[in-house]
Amino acid sequence: MASLSRLKAVILVGGPGTRLQPLTNYMPKSMVPVLNKPFMEYTIAYLKQFGVEDMILALNYLPDVIQNSFGDGSRFGVRLTCCVENSPLGTAGAVKNTATYLSSTFIVLNGDVFTDLDIADMVAFHRNKGARATISLHRVEDLSAFGAVETDSDQRVKRFIEKPRHGEATTNWINAGTYILEPEVLEHVPANSHYMFEEGLFPRLLELGEPVYGYPYSGYWLDVGNPEKYLSLNCDLLLSKTSSPLIRDSNGDRIYYDKDVTIHPSARIAAPAVIGSKCRISQGVHIKGPVVIGPDCHLKEGVSIENSVLWSDVYIGANAKLKQCIIGSNVSIEPNSQIDNRVVTPLQTTPLFP
């Protein structure tokens, strides 16, 4: 694998994500726990595996949450620089806000997308084409929530169609949110203004005749922007449908225990599962993976949990049954409850699949 040690990466941390609320009322989307680690940690590990160790975080929503958790990045073997926006600047505007740190080819990632894209190969493609901007492309069947990207036979971008109606687009390739850019393209982004890549900079570059290319790939790609996809990512990692440098020796048939876990001998746990630190699992509990249980959770007698994610400090009353659920931190579930297809937080309960 080619090393990208000389390249910098800008990570668009973004806001709470309306579709993930109320889970993200107190944290950016990139901080939601995935297998009990902040999603941002997976993004950092992903870049680091390619040799990228100099990362700039574009922050606007609850920046202190990120800064307090990750600091200067030394704990993770990388260098982190935080650029905080006074008000949301949009995707391109956020990168423009980091321009003082960018003097050569750089990478941009959306901080709420999980992918196994070979970014070293994408950089090589970008350089081989002499591109000013290269956009990662992923194929989807339903274009209604995405922007289609049409390219010619040489993969040069011809046009963008934002959320096309049925029959309007001639392609199913979408903008997948990873970019390789040359610093001069930021000259076309107005300073201190809300400006987007999708509707602003990229179409403008086409108007100017600048070489913009699409890099198609067919690997794993998931935007964790709603509860359904968030649950899917946790399950896919546990089932080894995708992988991360943070997870070693995963084969879809493992139970991972953190420290100081107490489990009654009569409890049954079917892999795959992650059990967080200081969890207490009582008599007769049945856990059928894929399941993630966060730290400091207490499962009382006879509890049954299947295909679910529990955050930290969750109390599940005796004989409660949970299936296909996301349970936020500091939630207490009443004894004998039966909860199916739900997102539960201290504030409200909503359907997981509306």
* Residues known to be catalytic: 163
Cα-Cα end-to-end distance for the chain = 42
Residue 131 has a CB neighbour count (10 Å cut-off) of 25
Name the 3-class secondary structure at 83: strand
Identify the H or E element spanning 22.
Answer: none
Query: Given its phi and psi angles, is residue 309 left (phi above 0), alpha (psi -120 to 50 degrees) or beta?
Result: beta
Does residue 180 contact residue 133 with C-beta atoms inside 8 Å?
Answer: yes
Q: Using CA atoms, how far apart are residues 117 and 232, in angstroms rounded to an integer?
A: 18
Name the 3-class secondary structure at 138: strand
Name the 3-class secondary structure at 217: strand
In terms of C-beta distances under 8 Å and separation of at least 24 residues, what long-range contacts does 47-50 make, across chains too? 47/9, 47/78, 47/107, 47/109, 47/119, 48/76, 48/77, 48/78, 48/245, 49/1, 49/245, 50/1, 50/2, 50/3, 50/4, 50/119, 50/120
C-alpha R_g of the chain: 22
